[in-house]
Amino acid sequence: MGAVGSGLARAVGLAVLLATAPSLAARPYRGGAVATAYPPASEAALKMLEKGGNAVDAAVAAAFVAAVVGPYHSGVGGGGFALVHEAKTGDTRVLDFREVAPKAASRDMYLKDGALVPGLSTDGALSVAVPGAVAGYLELLATHGKLKPAVVLAPAIQWARQGFWVTPKYQQMATGRAECLRQDPEAARIFLVKDAQGAFGVPPVGHLLKQPDLARTLGLIAKGGAKAFYSGPVAQAMVKSVKDAGGVLTQEDLTAYKTRKATPLETTYRGHRILTMPPPSAGGLAVVQVLGMLQQLRPQGVPYRDPDSLHLYVEAVRRAYVDRAKYLGDPAFVQVPLERLTSPGHIADLAGSIDPKKATASASLLAPVTGGPASTLRRDGGPLTPEPEKKNTTHISVIDKDGNAVALTTTVNYSFGSCLVGKGTGVLLNDEMDDFAAQPGVPNAYGLVTGEPNAIQPGKVPLSSMSPTLVFAREDPKRVMMAVGSPGGSTIPTTVIQAITNVVDQGMDVTRAVGAGRLHHQYLPDELWVDRWGLEPATLATLEARGHKIRRLEAWGDAEAVYSDPRTNLRYSSSDPRNEGAALGQD
């Protein structure tokens, strides 16, 4: 079969195994450890570590491979956030390479006669924001990596050229976006297959999906750097495809794109230093606020699945999402009162406003956000019942043998992004414009409500739920104990919070921590989401008696975490058993 063929076979076999297995026990590694949502991406990361690369080399290699084998989650036409910790200096740095609104974007670009036009912000050319992934990945390499770009991109180029086998997850995600993909001949040609009647449909499991155009684009990037993506033939093709389809992305937008450095948000939880993503991430603020409230409300710890503590957790989350809706946007454009929102006094006020015996109706918290009753419709005109499993983001966690760590979350936003491909490039473009408040007070595709601070402006970064997070050892506040993150749209912060509390409060190993049943509330809709393994019937009944409206969901999120034991220095990795990922490491 050959090395490539056998690698493909191992990858698809592992993907199917992980997709159907309830759990896989974590094993210890003496060297580095990595967790991603795709076996080929994890293999690429491990290969970089074995070549002498560090955590950044591994994470970037995984991100480029993810762009090939998981186009429904992320890609070079998207963007993201990264936290990078350098063990030698003890420094942790943030890189924001999220997309920005094109210069021709406008506040009311998705409105007609004062009403939102369904689908404009999620499907097709007008939903495309300026991509930042390539600039971000290459800057991470240049600033922190050890290996050359050609080495780091080699696995992605190989997977694009040789092809990958369609998995159940690919089929699930493509089924949900098949009609959107059919609207662009290039996207349909690449990501769908023709049936006997010549109509494009979702490829079967096991179909070998090759992307020679993307392989060529990645090859140009490996040789020419970011310039090969943001100018020249690749950029010209992307701009023409967007313009021909009615979008506003220009060459000027691509040329002007710049990444942004930031200072991580910092807090402590049970003696552990925690660093997470600042705005324009709203997720990092939720992590800080909710952990802060839990620490104040339950200073001795949170008993596992205790109904009183679960109630307090849900109410804490509800209030964090209200702050998100009221205050958050791109800090380069709006004044975000971050110091106040993260202050002990404000967190104490939020915690103090919680009734320990009764749920707070979200309607009582709405007036400052919308000035009136909340909309019951999403931007696309559908009912406000978002499905969190339709996530379109992916996370990569790495800790190398020296203790360097990366938590990197990257996305194309909705499934398969805009469903628009730059002709001849293989680049699937994002639909990140939907993360803006297309109309303040009206929910986006994830049911999230944001206000005027997140309104559309040229060059502005849309608000994000992505929450890459690092947890440090209690014994050494400069030593990373855990790197964690997840996809899942609005559910990302709560997935990260629960993974952390499962480790810190419950003493779970990292496999159990990411696999345990989850709960989520986001203030709107006023529902407590519980996954199928989340709570026992008696506990659910207790929460319902307190006024929580329960909604049962199959599953959501895809947490990826690595853990370094402060006592033994052994490392463990875990990829969410709900999906198809792989957790690997060096012996």
Give the catalytic positions in this structure: 393
Please give the DSSP secondary-structure letter assigned to residue 281.
B
- Angle at CA of residue 472, ends 470 and 476, nearest 5°: 155
What CA–CA distance (Å, rounded) separates 173 from 342?
A: 37
Please give the DSSP secondary-structure letter assigned to residue 350.
H
Q: At what angle do helices 283-297 and 307-327 cross, to 10 degrees?
A: 140
What CA–CA distance (Å, rounded) separates 19 from 551?
A: 24
What CA–CA distance (Å, rounded) separates 378 from 385?
A: 8
Contact 61, 149 (CB under 8 A): no
Question: Counting every residue, how long is the chain?
Answer: 587
What CA–CA distance (Å, rounded) separates 343 from 293?
A: 11
- Closest by Cα among 220, 212, 213, 342 to 277: 342
3-class SS string, 141-190: HHHHCCCCHHHHHHHHHHHHHHCEECCHHHHHHHHHHHHHHHCCHHHHHH
| Structural tokens at position 206 | 């096991």
Sort residue 114 into left (φ over 0), alpha (ψ -120 to 50) or beta. left
What CA–CA distance (Å, rounded) separates 475 from 165?
A: 45
Contact 212, 140 (CB under 8 A): no
